[in-house]
Copies of this chain bind each other. A is one copy, B any other.
Amino acid sequence: MTTSTYTVTGMTCGHCVSSVKEEVGEVPGVTGVEVDLGSGRVEVSGSGTLDDAAIRAAIEEAGYQVA
């Protein structure tokens, strides 16, 4: 399993967390997304190589910034 961790800014509530989880979860190869609202830590896991650019794009698509 591969894991990548990002720090995301702009998430303010549980709805924001859900949006990030949903968008990142749609990236091919992603099997899990854990988000900690307080710290902005987003941990993405997958079975193979994770597409870093696609994950960053998904976070931005959800409306947030990768620090």
Q: Which of A12, A15, A16 has the most CB of B within 10 A?
A: A15
Please, how many residues of chain A have a CB less than 8 angstroms from a CB on the other chain?
Answer: 6
Q: Output the nearest chain B residue to A10 by Cβ-Cβ distance.
A: B13
The interface residues of chain A, by DSSP majority, are classed as helix
CB distance from A34 to the nearest CB of B (A): 19
Task: Give the chain B neighbours of A13 by CB distance below 8 A.
Answer: 12-13, 15-16
**Distance of A8 from chain B, by nearest CB (Å):** 14
In the complex, A19 has a CB within 8 A of chain B:
yes
Per-position 1/0 for A1-39, Cβ under 8 A of B: 000000000001101101100000000000000000000
Binding site for B on A (CB under 8 A): 12-13, 15-16, 18-19
